[in-house]
């Protein structure tokens, strides 16, 4: 009888240990809510020629993955238009940065997939605007 009590007690220790640590899983947790913040970005460059070339000199935009289950795959649909700093993100606060290459795009799309293949998308628009014409005062 004593032997069975020890086996049951040992099994309970294992079960309690798994429950107390959350039963496993990734650092970022598992959530049915899944998104990327911000979910869109827009960059307008001023250019007399209508070119977006100066967009390549802009600071990158940081995107944060919210919810879902890591690891996250980051798929850049237009690598010639945007530079994404990584193709996979993990951890408690998964982030990635995006920098335009100097091409115009309306919009470029980045897709983020979680472990369960759920998707979230980011739209990044890069456009050029001609400067306002200044009027010369008449004398």
The pLDDT tens digits of the residues spanning 60-77 come to: 999 999 999 999 999 999
Q: How far is CA 69 from CA 12, 39, 56, 134, in A?
A: 28, 18, 32, 53
How far is Cα 65 from Cα 54, in angstroms, rounded to an integer?
A: 28
Look at residue 31 in the predicted model and tell me its pLDDT. 65
CATH, domain range 26-129: 2.60.40.1080
Look at residue 132 in the predicted model and tell me its pLDDT. 84
Q: Which region, left, alpha or beta, applies to residue 5 given φ > 0 means left and ψ of -120 to 50 means alpha?
A: alpha
State pTM to two decimals. Answer: 0.72
Look at residue 138 in the predicted model and tell me its pLDDT. 54
Q: Summarize the confidence of residues 103-111 as an average pLDDT.
A: 96
Say how many Å lie between the first and final Cα of the chain, rounded: 111
pLDDT tens-digit readout, 6-58: 444 444 343 344 344 444 444 445 567 899 999 999 999 999 999 999 999 99
């Amino acid at each position: 009888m004593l032997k069975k009590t020890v086996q049951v007690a040992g099994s309970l220790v294992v079960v309690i240990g798994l429950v107390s640590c959350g039963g496993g899983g990734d650092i970022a947790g598992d959530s049915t809510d899944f998104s990327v913040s911000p979910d869109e970005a827009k960059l307008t460059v001023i250019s007399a020629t209508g070119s977006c070339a100066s967009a390549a000199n802009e600071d990158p935009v940081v995107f944060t993955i919210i919810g879902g289950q890591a690891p996250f795959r980051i798929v850049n649909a237009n690598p010639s238009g945007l530079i994404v700093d990584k193709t996979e993100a993990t951890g408690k606060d998964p982030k990635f940065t995006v920098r335009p290459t100097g091409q115009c795009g309306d919009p470029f799309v980045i897709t983020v997939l979680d472990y369960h293949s759920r998707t979230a998308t980011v739209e990044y628009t890069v456009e050029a605007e001609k400067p306002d014409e200044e009027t010369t005062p008449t004398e």
